[in-house]
Chains A and B, each alone.
Chain A
Amino acid sequence: DGGITQSPKYLFRKEGQNVTLSCEQNLNHDAMYWYRQDPGQGLRLIYYSQIVNDFQKGDIAEGYSVSREKKESFPLTVTSAQKNPTAFYLCASSDLVRGRVYEQYFGPGTRLTVT
């Protein structure tokens, strides 16, 4: 079965600690994305990557870092510099057809709570 996996589903951390959220896809998609969702808000783009070893900042990249060492993996690190890290984090992937993005497929999400 092809899909996107995010683990864990729930994550708890103390303030001041870095935490890494995993995202793996076996859809053979070129592009991968990280979003965060807050109550009453849409999905806001944190980082995205269209190719291995390359990634771009989204609209709210401050306090986050990513890596793309393998096509199927795009982990997100929430650093202690992120002022409001408690949120629901969603990873997505998509095909690039003739350089254009079409539908994005989402993982189940990780709810991060920092206290």
Chain B
Amino acid sequence: DQQVKQNSPSLSVQEGRISILNCDYTNSMFDYFLWYKKYPAEGPTFLISISSIKDKNEDGRFTVFLNKSAKHLSLHIVPSQPGDSAVYFCAASARNRDDKIIFGKGTRLHILP
């Protein structure tokens, strides 16, 4: 039973264009959402997060949008750069219940020259 779903295993985007990575969740108790970026053979690094009281959070080229009614969030990267090629994990937590973070399976982003 996957509580956090990333339905696109991979995505290819031209350098300079916008990359949009999508994530759906099923647990309405989730109140905090995170995106992590991971290069091969390395640990994930935290990218950006959003609390359920917001619908948008922006940090430089990265913006996360949250649509609670649709149980959907997305990560926008603009403009996309070669160093953005990595696997992106969406994650969620129900902080008022326990301290676990549930990760999606990840989306591999390829930035094309």
Query: Chain A residues in contact with chain B, CB under 8 A?
Result: 4, 6, 9, 31, 35, 40-45, 48, 50, 58, 88, 90, 92, 94, 96, 100-109, 111
In the complex, 11 of the A-B residue pairs with CB atoms within 8 angstroms, ordered by the A residue number, are: A31-B99, A43-B103, A45-B101, A90-B43, A90-B44, A94-B99, A96-B99, A101-B93, A104-B101, A106-B43, A106-B45
Which B residues between 9 and 47 are near A, CB-CB below 8 angstroms? Answer: 9, 32, 34, 36, 41-46
**CB-CB under 8 A for A108 and B100, given A43-B89, A101-B93, A103-B34:** no
Interface 1/0 per residue, B72-113 and A, CB below 8 Å? 000000000000000001000101100111011110000000
- Nearest first, the 5 A-B pairs at minimum CB distance are A106-B43, A42-B103, A101-B99, A42-B105, A43-B103
Q: Is the CB of B49 within 8 A of A102?
A: yes
Contact residue among A40, A45, A109 (Cβ-Cβ distance under 8 Å from B42): A109
Q: How many residues of B contact A (CB 8 A)?
A: 23
Bound complex: CA A104 to CA B43 (Å): 11
Q: Is the CB of A58 within 8 A of B100?
A: yes
Q: How far is the CB of A49 from chain B (nearest CB, A)?
A: 10
Task: Closest A residue to B95 by CB, please name it.
Answer: A100
Q: How far is the CB of A77 from chain B (nearest CB, A)?
A: 20
